């Protein structure tokens, strides 16, 4: 159904559960030079939430008085999705649910049935970095 599906939970589930690991806030190692085509739904799906931060399990505190970095207490980390090609998928080339500083760089999407790229909710960070 999906070419690439990133489903980062707040914590590991099942027997691996620990509150000390927070995948949905962990920095993305890398996503580059991938191709997805002819999938039943999406070429790339970022499901639930992806808001990488310096301290993944720490609180995200927004400080509007700090113009340089309003998340200075736990700075956001940019997640780069680079050089992705997605075509002929039955829904979207790429879709993201709730994201922080996530950047799609040099994406090429074409001939997807519903849309090329769709973001469901980008206002989860107060400084507009999404």
With contact defined as beta carbons under 8 Å apart, do 42 and 87 qualify? no
Give ∠ CA 85-94-25 in degrees, rounded to 5. 115
| Residue 43 resides in a domain | yes
| Residue 129 resides in a domain | no
**The domain containing residue 64 runs over which residues?**
2-121
Please give the DSSP secondary-structure letter assigned to residue 27. Answer: P
- The pair of structure tokens assigned to 61 is 């505190």
Written as tens digits, the pLDDT of the chain (130 aa) is 899 999 999 999 999 999 999 999 999 999 999 999 999 999 999 998 999 999 999 999 999 999 888 999 999 999 999 999 999 999 999 999 989 889 999 999 999 999 999 988 776 777 666 7
pLDDT at residue 57 in the model: 97
pLDDT at residue 80 in the model: 96
pLDDT at residue 129 in the model: 67
| Residue 128 resides in a domain | no
pLDDT at residue 125 in the model: 75
What is the spatial distance between Cα 11 and Cα 66, in angstroms, rounded to a whole number? 30
| Residue 81 resides in a domain | yes
Q: Per residue in 35-63, is it b (16+ CB within 10 Å) or e — as a string?
A: ebeebebbbbbbbebbbbbeebeeebeee
Total number of domains constituting the chain? 1
| Residue 40 resides in a domain | yes
| Residue 126 resides in a domain | no
């Amino acid at each position: 159904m999906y070419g690439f599906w990133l489903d980062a939970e707040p914590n590991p589930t099942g027997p691996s559960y620990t509150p000390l690991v927070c995948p949905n806030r962990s920095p993305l190692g890398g996503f580059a030079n991938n191709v997805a085509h002819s999938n039943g739904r999406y070429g790339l799906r970022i499901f639930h939430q992806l808001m990488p931060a310096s301290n993944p399990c720490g609180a995200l505190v927004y400080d509007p008085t700090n113009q340089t970095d309003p998340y200075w207490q736990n700075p956001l980390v940019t997640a780069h999705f680079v050089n992705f090609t997605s075509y002929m998928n039955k829904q979207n080339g790429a879709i993201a649910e709730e994201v922080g500083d996530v950047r799609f760089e040099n994406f090429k999407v074409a001939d997807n049935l519903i849309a090329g790229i769709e973001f469901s909710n980008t206002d989860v960070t107060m400084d507009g970095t999404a």
